[in-house]
């Protein structure tokens, strides 16, 4: 989140919040949650972020991979979203997906 311009605001045992430029994101697992997250079921599929130019997308992707994220659709990377759409689709160990999208030049 920090690489995308969000600053860590709060952390607690089951989550945290990050402040952006007017918005904030909270990720947590509460005691009333049962079962693992599955992006293919109802609810959140993934979050997409404007990650700057393609070189920034690539750098953030490499940093995420070093921290345990997995590159999805690796055989189509970085154009898994279609030709002309430079992005990385990453999944963490809990099954949450983020899309890092490069700005069009």
Note down pLDDT in tens along the chain; length 105 residues. Answer: 888 888 998 888 878 888 887 778 777 776 776 777 777 776 677 888 889 999 999 999 999 999 999 999 999 999 998 888 999 999 988 888 899 999 886
Q: How does pLDDT run across 4-31, given as a tens digit for each residue?
A: 888 998 888 878 888 887 778 777 776 7
What are the extents of the domains in the chain?
1-33, 35-105
HSE-up of residue 63 (Cα within 13 Å, Cβ side): 11
Report, at the CATH architecture level, how domain 35-105 is classified.
Roll (3.10)
Whether residue 79 is preceded by a cis peptide bond, meaning omega within 30 degrees of 0, is: no
pLDDT of residue 22: 75
């Amino acid at each position: 989140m920090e690489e995308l311009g969000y600053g860590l605001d709060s952390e607690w045992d089951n989550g945290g919040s990050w402040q952006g430029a007017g918005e904030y994101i909270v990720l947590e697992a509460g005691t009333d949650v049962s079962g693992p997250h599955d992006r293919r079921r109802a609810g959140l599929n993934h979050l997409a972020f404007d990650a700057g130019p393609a070189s920034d997308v690539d750098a953030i992707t490499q940093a995420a991979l070093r921290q345990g994220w997995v590159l999805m659709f690796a055989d189509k990377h970085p154009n898994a979203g279609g030709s002309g759409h430079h992005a990385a689709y990453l999944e963490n160990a809990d099954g949450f997906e983020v899309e890092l999208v490069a700005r069009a030049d």
